[in-house]
Amino acid sequence: MLLKEVFLCALVLSVSADRPSWRKVEGDLADEPEVELLQEVNGAYRLPTVTVPTHYNLHLKTAIHENEREFQGTVEIFFNVLESTDTVTVHNRRLVIWKVTLYSVTGEGQTELGSPEFETDADTEHLAIKHSSAMAPGSYMVKVEFNGILQNNNNQGFFASSYVDDTGKRHYLASSKFEPTHARSAFPCFDEPKLKATFTLSITHSKDYNAVANMPRDGALVPDVDDASFVTTKFLKSTKMSTYLLAFAVSNFAIRTSGYQTVYARPNVYGETEFPLQAGVDILNALSAYTGVEYTKYMPKMTQIAIPDRGSGAMENWGLVTYGEPVLLFNPTINSYRTKKNVITIIAHEFAHQWFGNLVSPDWWDYIWLNEGFATVYEYYAAQLAYPETRYMDLWGVEVIQNAFAADARESVRPMTWNAATPSEIAGLFDTVAYDKSGSVLNMFRVAFQDDNWREGLVSYFNNRELDGAIADHLYQGLELAVTGKGLLPRSFNVKDVMDSWTTVAGFPLLTVRRDYKTGDIFVSQERFYSDRQLPNAHVYHVPYNYATKSTPSFDTLNFEWLSTKAAKLTTTIPAEDWIIFNKQQTGYYRVNYDTKNWKLIIAALQENPSTIHVQNRAQLINDAYNLARAERLDLTVPLELMTYLKQETAYPPWAAASSVLTYFNNKLRGTSQYPHFLNYVTELIQPIYSTQYVNSVLASETAMDKYLKQTISTWACRIDHQNCLAVTGNALRIAVAANIPVHPDIATVVYCYGLHGTEETEFVWLYERLLASKNQAERAVLIDSLGCSQNKEFLKSFLMTSIGSGATFNFLETERTRIVSSVYSASRAGVDALIEFLGDVKLIDEFISRLGSSTLNNAVANIASRTNNEQELEQLEALLTTLGDKVSANTASSARATVRNNFAWFQSLEGLVAEEFFAAYKQ
């Protein structure tokens, strides 16, 4: 069948509504906008403090098996009145309340007080229930009967999802995700983290479905007296917890069990639940041992559930952790080492929350780092505890610290501790600061205070705040007890002083190290680092520092001194010819700059023998030098010259750091006359290590880090048109197609993507048909990205057509449709050109907008602009903007033109001129 027939034979264009956008709270952060730093918040959004909840009896009924989106509910909220009041205020978001009854509660039972008036404030989402007279301090219960609407695949509140079975039949399910403020959209409640209570839940649902929740089922299913096709599942009374941690799901999923742990998933991926179940057992055991607090002391079971079309996030509900399928399901025959790493580390992240967030929750969202910062640390650390051979902590610097630096170097960034009131403000706190920056700071102190002391402090913290809320001071108190008298703190300062210097202010420090080569003295100063400017700043961070030298390369000895002033003089006897490197293994969350001579000594040492410097510091040096140069604090030739040592580098972390640098210059120079010189530079760096890689096979001896390295090197080799790389990947793809056997998943990303560069329609169609047949979302993502790598514009335009197609042939998830678009423009200039031609077709653009939304179009235009580097490409962009007219926002069009102007102006900037001169030396 011809290529276009494969794609277009069943293409029926249809109009659909824009998919609601939602913020992925766990595991898949979107880019964060610039924020205006205003600490003042509107206190009207907080609940009154005169009442507190103690228990909920919650009953819900859903007919989701019939794709019925309305659900019914009744909740009995038991609460205490602390001060005389005539009003109890709870949260309600768009629930239809049709009956409210108030009761007083005594040891003898409940006494009805009548049906009070009630009203919901749409702005604050406060449901005020007002009694006819004042309620004296004591115990009460309010019963609320209500209806609600399941939300549509948006990962918020009580929402609907669906999947297609092996016969093509679609099945529907409903599940919950309440963090941070969505419990109120499923039932009226005290929806603030400190207001913990116990829950007794029951759900009425189809007898052909099952219900699962935080707690185990309580007894047998109860037949519904009104409709024999329904049953009610009752659950045991829960542990005391915050409303955002209540969770439940109703589905026809299959269940895999091991002891007190289970995994739920749609039946046609049951085989992919074996690994996550075992990983769950291993990781929960490791965390229980590490924390000294056994998980089952508070919760009797642990369930993991894979929700279709949930994206790549997850949610740590106590006893019922929910995941998007790509980060839970694992099939070793089609999923790569990267998918395996994601599954392990995200399970570790969510399971760490069982202690950090569930056992002890923040009093309010301003301390969200008490949840997410710790979970980020143990995402890696607990994964390595459970699976030491993976060495996942080797990725900490390049995946967490260096990612945090990028966001935290902006002037407008917020501190770790930051208040919020409205639901949108609270949602905005789930950002890189909450995850990577907070994790980096906490891990710095874990190492500086020593892990045994850190664990001792955490146990004290857990014991003092179990089943309660906490603020930062509660954590500090536990750590203070653990480190007092051990010489681990700067003189005259306590844990609170030290840690508040990081948690209550934005940004991170730059240490500037200058040496007196005659005396051996070292002068160290600190200031806040900004990516684009230098501003005076009086703040002093308490910085734990250490250093290694050529004569004493003690990188594995992690003892610390403290810089608790703006500057200090260190008296040493270090020889003048010795290099010195601060921040051993980059455990500290700060950048370091040196005087010119020390940079030269470091570069010489790397070029002579890279192994004399710790692998994490090699990655640190590349990342620091590059970013210091970008901030005009260091000559750009320093990082570019430093990176020439990579010809001898055989470890992944330095190459990961370097890959970011190379990507920056690749994007700047592609399509210009200087680009061939840059390609020569990259070729010289990668050729030695590339010659040692088995691009088209996987050796049994390869470790996870070996595989990370191979993918990075082979990607760069193929990206710069290394003829051997393109030949090997093309041949591997042709062999796979001829045998109709996929390549090994650990090399599939490179082989499929770059194999398409030199192959024809047969290979492209084969990959597309594999995409249609695959039921594994992680594999589907790899295949979508690979298809976007084609260099044939006609193939790519046909692929783009599938993103807006409807019918069984184009059964893509909504997130996959937008991924198709991004895969095409991200892979190469051929993809950008194909997208421009596709969007320039006036017969298709309305359907594109209708199916994918205006935001997808605006985003596509912005990405085309960012990849516009010469006059010819600018003419293409201008022609597209003219064709699109008002279908693209005026702001997007204006920003696109500004982006291109900045791209062109870069060559007249100091950075551009220096880069051009440096790469010019690589003409041959």
Sign of CA dihedral 415, 417, 419, 423: positive
Residue of 458, 459, 241, 271 whose CA lies nearest to 358: 241
Tell me the DSSP string of 256-309: EEETTEEEEE-GGGGGGGHHHHHHHHHHHHHHHHHHSS-GGGT-S-EEEEEETT
Cis peptide before 137 (omega within 30 of 0): no
Q: Is 408 helix (H, G, I), strand (E, B) or coil?
A: helix
Structure tokens at 627: 């970013």
Structure tokens at 861: 């235009």
Q: Is 196 helix (H, G, I), strand (E, B) or coil?
A: coil
Identified catalytic residue from 125, 350, 379, 456 = 350
Q: Is 91 annotated as a binding residue?
A: no
Alpha-helical runs (H) found in 357-437? 369-386, 396, 402-408, 423-428
Residue of 836, 857, 729, 840 whose CA lies nearest to 793: 836
Structure tokens at 329: 């399901």
Q: Is 312 helix (H, G, I), strand (E, B) or coil?
A: coil
Alpha-helical runs (H) found in 538-651? 596-608, 615-630, 637-642
CB-based contacts of 886, cutoff 8 Å, min separation 6: none
Do residues 513 and 554 touch, judged by C-beta distance below 8 A? no
> In the block, which residue shows the tokens 């291993």?
282
Where on the phi/psi map is residue 227: left (φ > 0), alpha (ψ -120 to 50), or beta? beta
Report the amino acid identity of residue 418. W
For 41, phi then psi, to 5°, come to -130, 160
Please tell me what DSSP assigns to residue 122: T
Q: Is 93 helix (H, G, I), strand (E, B) or coil?
A: coil
Pairing, β 320-324 against β 302-307? parallel
Q: Does the annotation mark 350 as catalytic?
A: yes
Residue of 413, 264, 438, 447 whose CA lies nearest to 352: 438
Do residues 792 and 764 touch, judged by C-beta distance below 8 A? yes
CB-based contacts of 905, cutoff 8 Å, min separation 6: none
126, containing H or E segment: strand 126-135
Structure tokens at 907: 């060559």
End-to-end CA gap in the chain = 46
Do residues 58 and 202 touch, judged by C-beta distance below 8 A? yes
CB-based contacts of 751, cutoff 8 Å, min separation 6: 695, 696, 729, 732, 733, 736, 743
Report the amino acid identity of residue 709. L
Do residues 889 and 854 touch, judged by C-beta distance below 8 A? yes
Q: Is 372 annotated as a binding residue?
A: yes
> In the block, which residue shows the tokens 């592609």?
670
Tell me the DSSP string of 49-88: SSEEEEEEEEEEEE-GGGT--EEEEEEEEEEEESS-EEEE
Structure tokens at 78: 């038991």
Cis peptide before 180 (omega within 30 of 0): yes
Return d(Cα 488, Cα 480) in angstroms, integer. Answer: 10
Do residues 170 and 164 touch, judged by C-beta distance below 8 A? yes
Where on the phi/psi map is residue 246: left (φ > 0), alpha (ψ -120 to 50), or beta? beta
Q: Which residues of 66-83 are buried (b: 16+ CB within 10 A; e: fewer)?
A: eeebebbbbbbbbbebee
Q: Write out the binding residues.
A: 349, 353, 372
Annotated binding-site residues for Zn(2+) read 349, 353, 372
Residues tagged active-site: 350
